[in-house]
Structure 1
Amino acid sequence: MISVGQSLPAGEFTIFTTEGKQTLDTQALFAGKKVVLFAVPGAFTPTCSNAHLPGYVVKAGEFSAKDVDAIYCLSVNDAFVMKAWGEAQNAQAITMLADGDASWTRALGLEKETGSFGGVRAQRFALIAEDGLVTALNVEAPGKFEVSDADSLLALLG
């Protein structure tokens, strides 16, 4: 599993922008930026939709005030699902990253097998990275939502 002090692995993500569907790599997403990235097991699932993503949507301005350049939401879903979920949650301030084949999630070592729920998914976690280097990492215990929420990450930013 990735840890504090390590560089994020290379990878590509599919996102939707005003220009349509695009593929962005980790260099474009993380180089020269201070970012918060949080991962959810699945878009449109209860905790993810009722608490995890909404917390970051509501607190986006507070992250910006702490010099965070971008907030990324990662899920092992396809780009169309992530786009629809972001729209349904009014998450315009959040970049919705689709890791459709879980390759980047696996490269982080933060995948979990959910069986018939959906196969390989991301564990619930959040991290802070500066210029691609992990400066903080909070990984939830199975079935918990206590350390990857927006308030926990804001507290880490001081």
Structure 2
Amino acid sequence: MKLTSIEGQSVPQTVFRTRANHQWRDVSSAELFKDKTVIVFSLPGAYTPTCSSSHLPRYNELAPTFRANGVDDILCISVNDAFVMDAWAKELAVENIHLIPDGNAEFTNGMGMLVDKSDLGFGKRSWRYSMLVKNGVIEKMFIEPDKPGDPFEVSDADTMLHYINPEARDPEFVTVFTREGCPHCARAKALLKAHDMTFEEIKTGMGTGVSSRTIRAVSGHSTVPQVFIGGKHIGGADDLEKYFSCLPH
């Protein structure tokens, strides 16, 4: 199997059959890449272990950092149909990148990355790779080595970020435990938004599957909100206010 970088060349011109608002929508390569700086990462298939646990989630996590470093869009392209890609995006709660179905493998074949996965019952699929594309021209490609199995060594989000900006810092991930109707929770979320901090909200209470016992187990407190920043427990809304007041201006 010969996998060759095509840096300096234009991306394949094709049309992707996507779904939007329960309707078919054709999206061209020109629409995705013209006058934009775009990261593409491609993988063997939706729902497969490495793709679901590492490859896709990390690009989604780092998307704000990529955008702060000049990237306009991030695309995950896989030889799957639109229904599968949409369902996968919903299951993993993907918010920051676009999943593009290459169901007929036209783009993947044009990239020279179409490989035979018949031994796994997959048929023809994409080899795992990533690339940085500027105005439709491929500036950099990271192609996984030709090894048995499913190597995942160079097409990851951190390698791409280091290429774009070696000095870029890993964002601090923020999680907030809240409860419906809680004014202190609303205040904590407003504080985070005022400081341009993206956060994950975990709602607690009846019907959520997250109880006060859960909150106590992870934070030592049973009240909400409980805020965590970069793995550190901050506390409630008052504690969050103090945290921000102590940050250097």
Please say whether Structure 1 and Structure 2 have the same fold, judged by a TM-score greater than 0.5. Answer: yes
**Is 1:132 the counterpart of 2:136 in the alignment?**
yes
Gaps of 5+ in 2: 166-249
Q: 5 Å matches for 1:15-30? A: 15-18=18-21, 20-30=23-33
Moved more, 74-83 or 16-25: 16-25
Q: Segments of 4+ in structure 1 off by > 4 A?
A: none
SS in structure 1 of the partner of residue 140 of structure 2:
strand
Candidates 93, 98, 102, aligned match of 1:99 = 102
Q: What is the CA-CA distance between 1:19 and the residue it aligns to?
A: 7.0
Deviations 1:5-41 (A, max 9, x none): 1111101112233474311000000000000000010
Asked whether the equivalents of residues 15 and 96 of structure 1 are also in contact (C-alpha less than 8 Å), the reply is no
Gaps of 5+ in 1: none
Between Structure 1 and Structure 2, whose CA radius of gyration is higher?
2
Q: 5 Å matches for 1:143-154? A: 143-154=150-161
Deviations 1:79-103 (A, max 9, x none): 0000000111111211111010111
- CA separation of 1:24 and 1:2: change in aligned 2, threshold 3 A: farther
Q: What is the CA-CA distance between 1:75 and the residue it aligns to?
A: 0.4
Q: 5 Å matches for 1:3-152? A: 3-18=6-21, 20-115=23-118, 116-141=120-145, 142=147, 143-152=150-159
Q: What is the CA-CA distance between 1:152 and the residue it aligns to?
A: 0.6
Asked whether the equivalents of residues 57 and 90 of structure 1 are also in contact (C-alpha less than 8 Å), the reply is no
Asked whether the equivalents of residues 5 and 143 of structure 2 are also in contact (C-alpha less than 8 Å), the reply is no
SS in structure 2 of the partner of residue 135 of structure 1:
strand
Aligned-residue CA RMSD in angstroms? 1.3
Q: What is the CA-CA distance between 1:2 and the residue it aligns to?
A: 4.9
- CA separation of 1:19 and 1:2: change in aligned 2, threshold 3 A: farther
SS in structure 2 of the partner of residue 21 of structure 1:
strand
Q: Following the alignment from structure 1 to structure 2, what is the Cα–Cα distance between the partners of residues 51 and 109?
A: 24
Q: Following the alignment from structure 2 to structure 1, what is the Cα–Cα distance between the partners of residues 21 and 121?
A: 32
Moved more, 43-52 or 13-22: 13-22
> Normalization by structure 2: what TM-score?
0.61
Asked whether the equivalents of residues 43 and 85 of structure 1 are also in contact (C-alpha less than 8 Å), the reply is yes
Identity of aligned residues (%): 37
SS in structure 2 of the partner of residue 155 of structure 1:
helix
